[in-house]
Amino acid sequence: MNDTEAADPGLADAAQDDIYEAAAAVAAPEVFASNIDVYGYHSFAAGWFFAGWLSHTGGDENLPDRATAWFDGQPVTGPVTTLFFYRNDLPEGGLGFLIFLPAEMAAEGGFQRLTVTCGMVERDLHAADPQALLPVAKLMPRLQFIISLSTDPAQQLVMSALLGSPADTAGTGFIEFCGRHPNAGGWFISGWLAQAWPDSEPPVYAGVTCADADIRGRVLACLYNRPDLPDGARGFSMFLRSDVAAPGPLLAVNFWAAGKPMTVAMLKGAPVLRETELTARLRANLGQSKAGLAREQMLNLLARRPYAGEDTLDSLAPAIQIFIDEAISCAPDGLVLMGWMLARPEVLRGMWLRNGEISVPVPMRDAVRINRQDVQAAYAKDGFDEPNCGFLLFVPGQFDLNEAIYIEVETNRCESAYRNIPRPLRTGLAAIRHLLGVPELRYEEVQPGFDKVLGPAVAAINRQRLAARPQLKMMDFGPVPKQPKYSVLIPLYGRLDYAEYQLAFFSAHPGNAGIEYIYILDDPDKKREACQLFTAAWERYQVPFRAVLLERNVGFAPANNIGMHYATGTYLCYLNSDVFPETPDWLELLVARLEADPSIGAIGPLLLFEDGTVQHQGMYFRRLPEFGNWFFCMHINKGLRYSGGEGLEAHVSITGACMVLRRELAVELGGFDESYVIGDFEDSDLCMKIQQRGLRCVVDPSVKMLHLERKSQPSAASNWRMNVTVYNAWQHERRWAGLIAASQAALLSPV
């Protein structure tokens, strides 16, 4: 950050109250060990089983009573049923466990951890083995064996009842044929039930048990009459969406209907049919079913045609309007879609982004909404009243940009249509500018907007942008010192004339032979102008310096880090081009403080405005409710006359506009973190890392310098520039909020 600050008038009194926030006391964590050996979803029990071991501190009050299972960040939470048993292979106090967590359906994401609540204490349990997830066919015998190890009859009885058996189900029958229908995008299963569900209460979720894994999810189901079956028995057809083939032979289907569990086993010799024969037999069966939405949905699924490269969305009635104005690649993490949508909730069933063999649900619930008055005006005649119909959406996945990318839309009648997505063109900083120039998020919109869309998208684009270092040209003006004590790094972007003014100030220093000045031009369009200015400045002031001319704009942190690569001094100074010394020996004075006190990690001067008021005297952090309630950097006493003494002042953070530290430490810390875009928060990030080393960041008010504050930068579009700052605050908050809160009370403590 080259001087991050949120607008904050009147910091003198009220704002200072925030400086002394008390740090929350954190108790030392109790030693705890555990492992989940096996886990899996059981459709009959309608929930997750987790088996493993944990260290035990004794007492029933420590047994889990609630738990949350996390699947790719999505929680499944509720009360748990627990069984404990002794294991001879564990140290004293260790216990084996079997935990059951009810869940209406299995989560779609990958398992991350199980958080169990024992009274007032939470424990995180992890599965060390990636093969710990078992299908029902392999999970059942393991669970039955574990239950047999328990010495508590009550726990045994409860767990055994949860596992159940086909004889316990209210409806039994057989699967007569099945098959995957590629155009429908899932599996059809057909057979009969001895006791069917009521027509008004069909199953919603089902689990297909295969030999090597399970297929689970929402289902469509339809009953039909079978004159060949005894009274009360009925035929059924069921559809389960799945983009994968069956993992091993299909064994059974488990589901709940009308509040009762049902299991249907695969009839011995039942065929797995290909699409043509599967369609013919299903159509015949559906012809015997009752007219209604379920039958219409099934027939529409069977009638689907594959994507042929054309937009077919206009064929739907009633219409669903979806337009993708632009796509931005965030490879390898995902894709951003920018567009608008008008669709009535009772019409739209679901959307999927498809790319070759990849199929990803389109998470519209996570979209950042954009006001599109132009769209609203055009479609008001059709009865739509949705001014915020525009959206920004991040879809995670690794997409092949050489293959067609399109959206498949499904209606509640199971009709489908396609909308093509334009090929992504914008990359790098242009893509970031465009993406962040659109939304205007405030208050409760900020956190989800950056967590689910803007944060992951910008992070991926920026990583890709900086993956390859730019080409550069290095030019020396005058005899640059061979073994300097000091290296001064000065990035240039926007106004270049300040470099000439700086060199004029530096020329007053009698000891320039020991100072290595390195200017890094991060504005390639001004290369010719810069070379002319550098030549004239050398001829006029005779201060030797090195110029590093970048062929591509990279931003404040990368530009400084490139300069650091060429720096050779024992001490390193980060300096903005709009900062000017009041005295020639400013650098020696700051370094003398570093040499005298090894507890100092970074030091900066007192920075003043042109009128002599304080621009920078150290920084503290304040939470801004308008921007996610995240910590933002604030300047102490900004705009006031300095009235302090000459002694050093320790602060949570100091500005990168002028910061001096040992080069060895700067290299060890990797310089400025380049994940902060353009320039904001990277200096406070560096200060946090310095504090983690047990070192202090201080300001020496006896050294005064003039800072014109961002006048070296051209004005930018306010919306995108503000959103860059908020994006950087989002990153900074996730890394350092705890350390900031713990350090804030000592912000103004004297040295």
- 469-569 matches 1-30+581-751 in CATH topology: yes
pLDDT in tens, 690-713: 999 999 999 999 999 999 875 554
Instruction: Give dist(CA 269, CA 177) in Å, integer.
Output: 9
Q: Which whole number is the average pLDDT over 179-207?
A: 91
Q: Which whole number is the average pLDDT over 94-102?
A: 91
Instruction: Give dist(CA 576, CA 708) in Å, integer.
Output: 10
Instruction: Give dist(CA 218, CA 207) in Å, integer.
Output: 9
Name the band, by pLDDT with cuts 50, 70 and 90, for residue 612: very high
Instruction: Give dist(CA 640, CA 22) in Å, integer.
Output: 26
For the beta carbon of residue 371, count every other beta carbon within 10 angstroms. 13
pLDDT in tens, 457-477: 999 999 999 998 999 999 999
Q: What is the pLDDT of residue 497?
A: 94
Share above pLDDT 70 across residues of the chain, in percent, rounded to a whole number: 91
Q: At the fourth CATH level, which superfamily is domain 469-569?
A: Spore Coat Polysaccharide Biosynthesis Protein SpsA; Chain A (3.90.550.10)
Q: What is the pLDDT of residue 98?
A: 94
**First and final CA of the chain: distance in angstroms?**
25
Segment holding 85, helix H or strand E: strand 81-85
Instruction: Give dist(CA 174, CA 194) in Å, integer.
Output: 9
Is the confidence at residue 166, as pLDDT, over 50? Answer: no
In the chain, where the domains are located: 1-30+581-751, 34-163, 172-302, 317-465, 469-569
Task: Decide: 37 and 52 in contact? Cβ < 8 Å.
Answer: yes
172-302 folds as: Immunoglobulin-like (2.60.40)
- CA 231 to chain CA centroid, Å, is 56
1-30+581-751 folds as: Spore Coat Polysaccharide Biosynthesis Protein SpsA; Chain A (3.90.550)
pLDDT in tens, 280-328: 999 999 999 999 999 999 999 999 999 999 999 999 888 899 999 999 9
- Look up residue 584 and give its two tokens: 């020639």
pLDDT in tens, 391-446: 999 999 999 999 999 999 999 999 999 999 999 999 999 999 999 999 999 999 99
Q: Which whole number is the average pLDDT over 564-574?
A: 97
Residue type at position 13: D
pLDDT in tens, 626-647: 999 999 999 999 999 998 888 9
Q: What is the pLDDT of residue 599?
A: 97
Could you tell me which residues are beta bridge partners of residue 473?
549
Name the band, by pLDDT with cuts 50, 70 and 90, for residue 271: very high
CA angle at residue 591 from 588 to 596, to 5 degrees? 120
- What CA–CA distances, in Å, run from 299 to 343, 407, 538? 23, 22, 81
pLDDT in tens, 4-13: 444 343 333 4
Is the confidence at residue 366, as pLDDT, over 80? Answer: yes
Q: What is the pLDDT of residue 280?
A: 96
Q: What is the pLDDT of residue 171?
A: 54
Instruction: Give dist(CA 254, CA 240) in Å, integer.
Output: 12
Half-sphere exposure in the Cβ direction for 319 (13 Å, CA): 14
Name the band, by pLDDT with cuts 50, 70 and 90, for residue 105: low
Instruction: Give dist(CA 266, CA 252) in Å, integer.
Output: 5
Instruction: Give dist(CA 265, CA 242) in Å, integer.
Output: 20
Q: What is the pLDDT of residue 89?
A: 84
Q: What is the pLDDT of residue 525?
A: 95
Q: Which whole number is the average pLDDT over 132-151?
A: 89
* DSSP E strand stretches across 672-728: 696-707
Q: What is the pLDDT of residue 44?
A: 75
Name the band, by pLDDT with cuts 50, 70 and 90, for residue 503: very high
Q: Is 494 exposed, middle or buried (0-12, 13-18, 19+ CB in 10 A)?
A: middle
pLDDT in tens, 199-253: 889 999 888 888 888 888 889 999 999 888 888 889 999 999 887 777 788 888 9
pLDDT in tens, 10-40: 333 433 344 333 233 333 344 678 899 999 9
Q: Out of 16-20, 108-112, 279-283, 660-664, which region has the weakest mean confidence (pLDDT)?
A: 16-20
Q: What is the side-by-side strand order in the sheet with 416-420?
A: 358-361, 348-355, 405-411, 416-420
Is the confidence at residue 746, as pLDDT, over 80? Answer: no
Segment holding 439, helix H or strand E: none
